[in-house]
Structure 1
Amino acid sequence: MKKKLTSHSIRLILPLVFLCLWLPPTAHAQTITPGKTEQWHDFEKVHFTFDGLPAWYVKPPKPLPGNPWVWRAHFPDWHTTMDSLLLQRGFHIAYVNTNDRYGAPVAMMVWDRFYQYLTDKLGFAPKVALEGVSRGGLYVYGWAKRNPEKVSCIYAEAPVCDIKSWPGGKGKSKGDEKSWKQLLGVYGFTEEQALAYADNPIDHLEGLAAYKVPVLHVIGPKDALVPNNENTFILIDRYLKLGGPATVYSMTRGPQQLEGHHFPIEHPDWWANFIEQASVPVVKPLPKTTYFQVRGGLPHIAQAIRQQKKATVAFLGGSITHNPGWRDKVSQFLQERFPDTQFTFIKAGIPSLGSLPHAFRFQQDVLDKGTPDLLFLEAAVNDRGNGTDSLTQIRAMEGIIRHARKANPAVDVVLMSFAEPHKTRDYLAGKVPLEVANHERVATWYKLPSVNLAQEIHDRIKAGEMSWEFDFKDLHPSPFGQEIYYQTIKALLNSYFDGTTTATAPMAPIRPMNARSFERGHYLPIQKATLSNGWTLVENWRPDDKIPTREGFVNRPMLVATQPGATLTLSFTGTAIGMGLISGPDAGMVEYRIDKGPYQTMDLSTPWSKQLHLPWYKLFAGDLPDKKHTLELRLSAVKPEASTGTACRIVYFLEN
């Protein structure tokens, strides 16, 4: 006779399931096979095989402190006078053969591992000078844009900066049909996809420019194979307009061969000086590992990648998650690192919203769109700005995690604390910001990975690596700040997937931190309310005062009252009740009571209401007996000091 699994037996089995899954199954062990050592232009050249690919590095007679180095991409034996000068000055030169991969993601993954090997195992400098010749431009810019903080400078000779120009031959260049077909195969592109590709070296240079990585192109002025008007001139023009430092030098002395694409290098000592000035002295930045905790790791997403080849990743947060930047870069990284996996990405960032709204919108904005295998969650910035109290933060954050685990008991969650000036001031005063502490408390309880970007930004400012005013600029991070966020999150992911950090078995406790967590939080439709005098259900609300709105909180049903005395009642069940509303210039005050208790007053206005019809979430009660209740709500005649009216506009009721 088959026994039915009870909830109790599931609780007993679940930790065993976690224990079986927790090991990172996607680690890529680097394989290094020593090779011969030979003389190269009077220097010692060490050959080896790296992950099955030919590789080498050349030793200087006397290395400079910190081991600065140059990384050559493609054609490593072309124009080596500058390399010889740098070797004599104390630089290493390195190369791994990813030829005929045209800077595609598969090559970039090799480059990531090669960089890690040279810096971690051989002690090479954390910033590298990249040297790209011709199609090598696809490699150096592809990797530099993915890793701007790891690049000291870029030196490029007649670089390919747009695959449509070469090898595509879709402009003035005649291109190369064989190489074009090879490129399509490496990228997995159709012709149409290749022509629409938007991540050429000329594209998305914002992060590189924000890091002020100096760029130098030496070109042949009459290059017809890789025309400057389709490559160098476009890239340099865009880079300069973004604030990046760039120089172009035309080589005119000597024969111009291969349709002007090959030319002798004038003044190689100048270009050696350029690389040396950008690379020396070697400065080691603060380590990324300080700012994340792996704890129980990411066993479920790793299993989904390894076995199902299908994974859903959700991003839940405020405006920093809503805006393009780190989120898109993390998505791109996962797709590139695991190209055989079909990813679904759920973008659930809404500006101005923190942990309380997240807990009650999680069903609609995340689970109704898919069940995540991995959830990125942030609320620390808006929890501070919205004045969310500590207990509510804990109940909301824990509620989201427990709600997610009801849908997928094995879901991985990464908690993130982003930076803003108040948190920086807290750290300067020797205090851990409350919101950060609460994120870490919840992460520790459930053995979840966490990323403390608030502390990282403070520490890097204190160490003189950056400034808030000129680099990070705003709590909505500049491209520089977005890169810091992305690189640290990527470091966390890589540390687990590569097995470089030790995860503890994620047998998180079934027992909640707080018995009143909002794990059953959801939206209760406004149509459930019983309306008395003064309330109207507006089917398609939009403002008539020309004040801006937020997407998703306009042109939709809304309960609206503007005259004092308007009343409604709402029957609900559970431990918490609240409302999601629109707080505009005329936001008023309400009086409310639950189960015939005494009336209490709630101010609906915000410091931002004059400029925006702002989504705003308010909790009437969060610690009620778990049973049926009745809410009574009426519009107050008292007007907030800065308000122009006494309005209340309700988008959702919040029920736990």
Structure 2
Amino acid sequence: MKEDSWQARKRQIGMKSSLFICFLMCVAVWSKADPAPARQDAAAVAAPARESSWQDMKRLDFTVAGRPALVIVPDKPLPGNPWIWRTEFFNAFPAADIALAKKGFHIGYINMENMYGSPDAMKLMDAYYDYMTREYRLDPKPVLEGLSRGALFAFNWASRNPEKVAGLYVDAPVCDFKSWPGGKGTGKGSPEDWKRLCQAYRLTPEQALAYKKNPVDTLLPLAKAKIPILAVVGDDDDTVPVSENTAVVEKKYRKLGGPIRVIHKPGISHHPHGLLNPAAIVNFAFRAAGAVPPVRVVCIGDSITFGAGSNREERWSARLQNALGEKYEVFNLGISGTTLQSKGDSPYTAKDNYTIARQIEGDIILIALGTNDSKPANWKNAAAFSRDYETMIKELRTGNPKAEIYCLLPVPAYPGNYGIRDSIIRGEVIPAIRKVAGKAKCRVIDLYTPMKGEGSKVPDKVHPNGAGHAIMAQHIYKAITGRKMPE
């Protein structure tokens, strides 16, 4: 009887040992299948940082939860340490990140390649967020930046953590993975990425098609938190079609009461990401983070604005920047030989700089065109000139209806060169500009009168030298600020 009891006891112990060994094996398998930690102590999962340089700023590389991660540290961080968190493709089309870092934003990134915003990726983002906000004391509400598939990470983490997000900047964003990489709509799709995505989400293809937690499905938490969204899209994107992604988000988000803005790039496909000048993106990030962005001053003009005949630091735009200071950002978009008229021999509106001028969405816009319109081949009648001037003002106000637009009267020609005629500038171009400015409620800055009699400062009869630009800068500065320009 005792022997039988002992044998039964041995069998019971053996069964428990086998179960325990099986449990340990399962834990090992589970650990390999799930590389991302469930929320754990961030300090315990991060390795010491290695310092290097990125765009002449400090770059710190380290690991979080076993994944490569980094942060770009600006030379002069803004108060509160605001940051933009690039969720995918670090250093691809980096213009916005560079501009933000140079203006005081930190740039964050953790490598989540081929994770497509999956639940495991969300755990990695949790760990990275905890580490960055604790160890680097970054703002507890970053701006999330999602390029292409990076939007899956940005939207998914934001919908889970709306209280931890200041805003979303998404660019050609994937908002429904059935569209890309699934290719179940009008887009090309990517079979290899679709296979990897299904594996990352642990879904069969059939389950993935029925999945109801894509960004297009989970906007309500973001809308309730009033998280601002800026989307930049190429209207001809056949990889991530706008109609299946951004347009769906835009319609739903507006209906939910969420703030969203979409910047369209006509004629552009999936690439390149970003804008020709990232100022509008920078402005969005600043405002989303509760920081004060620089006042954007856009200078539209011909060779005189560009600065032909003067050194770079002597140009009126450069002098204006120095006088206004770091709270302003002045963009010189002058192009030699350009006309205001769309049917001139070199229309400004046909140049890339005009696209840039519109994309910057300036707070202050200075239009200094009309000199080349006075050439015999260009000047047909004042009506055509006025009509095109009014159109330009209307287009420039589209991006920023509150922009202050100044119409600058051209400087005199002495008596002229390159076919430029002072008599037409004085007698027809200037009266037309004054009339347009009055009708469009724009302010006029008279550069003709203060430069009259200053022929010595216009050596080639058309282009002012450095001394001439100094006079122009003084009058422009006073018109903008109401103050005399500092010496």
TM-score, normalised to structure 2, is 0.51
Matching of residue 262 in structure 1 with residue 296 in structure 2:
no
Q: Which residue of 2 aligns with 1:114?
A: 128
Q: Which residue of 2 aligns with 1:276?
A: 286
Q: Which residue of 2 aligns with 1:196?
A: 210
Query: Aligned partner of 1:270: which letter?
Result: A
Q: Which residue of 1 aligns with 2:191?
A: 177
**1:235 match: secondary structure:** helix
Q: Which residue of 1 aligns with 2:219?
A: 205
**2:287 match: secondary structure:** helix
CA distance in 1, matches of 2:166, 2:103: 17
Question: What is the 5 A alignment of 1:65-464?
Answer: 65-252=79-266, 256=268, 260-263=270-273, 265-281=275-291
Q: Which residue of 1 aligns with 2:463?
A: none
What's the offset of the Cα at 1:261? 3.9
CA distance in 1, matches of 2:49, 2:137: 20
Q: Which residue of 1 aligns with 2:30?
A: none
**1:137 match: secondary structure:** helix
CA distance in 2, matches of 1:51, 1:206: 30
What's the offset of the Cα at 1:262? 3.0
The structure 2 residue matched to 1:33, chosen from 47, 68, 74, is 47
User: Which fold has the larger relative contact order, with Cα–Cα distance below 8 Å and residues 6 or more apart in sequence?
Assistant: 1
Query: Aligned partner of 1:49: which letter?
Result: T
**1:34 match: secondary structure:** coil
1:123/1:272 CA distance change after superposition, 3 Å: same
CA distance in 1, matches of 2:183, 2:166: 32
CA distance in 2, matches of 1:106, 1:276: 30
TM-score, normalised to structure 1, is 0.38
Deviating beyond 6 angstroms after TM superposition, the runs of 4 or more aligned structure 1 residues are none
Deviations 1:26-63 (A, max 9, x none): 87343211242111111110001111111000001111
CA distance in 1, matches of 2:175, 2:39: 33
**2:107 match: secondary structure:** strand
Deviations 1:595-650 (A, max 9, x none): xxxxxxxxxxxxxxxxxxxxxxxxxxxxxxxxxxxxxxxxxxxxxxxxxxxxxxxx
CA distance in 2, matches of 1:27, 1:195: 29
Tell me, yes or no, if the aligned pair for 1:152 and 1:214 is still in contact at 8 Å. Answer: yes
1:250/1:57 CA distance change after superposition, 3 Å: same
**1:57 match: secondary structure:** strand
* Aligned sequence identity (%): 44
CA distance in 2, matches of 1:27, 1:174: 37
Query: Aligned partner of 2:254: which letter?
Result: L
Structure with more of its chain in strand, by fraction: 1
Tell me, yes or no, if the aligned pair for 1:79 and 1:265 is still in contact at 8 Å. Answer: no
Instruction: Output the aligned Cα RMSD.
Output: 2.1
CA distance in 1, matches of 2:192, 2:258: 35
**2:79 match: secondary structure:** coil
Question: What is the 5 A alignment of 1:442-521?
Answer: none
CA distance in 1, matches of 2:264, 2:271: 12
CA distance in 1, matches of 2:168, 2:134: 22
1:219/1:93 CA distance change after superposition, 3 Å: same
CA distance in 2, matches of 1:106, 1:200: 15
The structure 1 residue matched to 2:60, chosen from 36, 46, 49, is 46
Question: What is the 5 A alignment of 1:606-617?
Answer: none
CA distance in 1, matches of 2:259, 2:38: 39
Structure with more of its chain in helix, by fraction: 2
Tell me, yes or no, if the aligned pair for 2:173 and 2:240 is still in contact at 8 Å. Answer: yes
Tell me, yes or no, if the aligned pair for 1:157 and 1:217 is still in contact at 8 Å. Answer: yes
Tell me, yes or no, if the aligned pair for 1:161 and 1:201 is still in contact at 8 Å. Answer: yes
Query: Aligned partner of 1:266: which letter?
Result: L
CA distance in 1, matches of 2:250, 2:227: 12
Query: Aligned partner of 1:62: which letter?
Result: K
CA distance in 2, matches of 1:271, 1:264: 8
Paired residues, number: 256
CA distance in 1, matches of 2:272, 2:101: 24
Query: Aligned partner of 2:282: which letter?
Result: A
Tell me, yes or no, if the aligned pair for 2:148 and 2:172 is still in contact at 8 Å. Answer: yes
CA distance in 1, matches of 2:100, 2:142: 13
CA distance in 1, matches of 2:122, 2:287: 26
What's the offset of the Cα at 1:206? 1.0
Q: Which residue of 2 aligns with 1:405?
A: none
Structure 1 gaps of 5+ residues are 3-24, 283-656
1:240/1:86 CA distance change after superposition, 3 Å: same
What's the offset of the Cα at 1:95? 0.2
**2:216 match: secondary structure:** coil
Query: Aligned partner of 1:277: which letter?
Result: R
What's the offset of the Cα at 1:90? 1.2
What's the offset of the Cα at 1:263? 4.8
What's the offset of the Cα at 1:251? 2.1
Structure 2 gaps of 5+ residues are 6-36, 293-487
Tell me, yes or no, if the aligned pair for 1:251 and 1:264 is still in contact at 8 Å. Answer: no
Deviations 1:422-459 (A, max 9, x none): xxxxxxxxxxxxxxxxxxxxxxxxxxxxxxxxxxxxxx
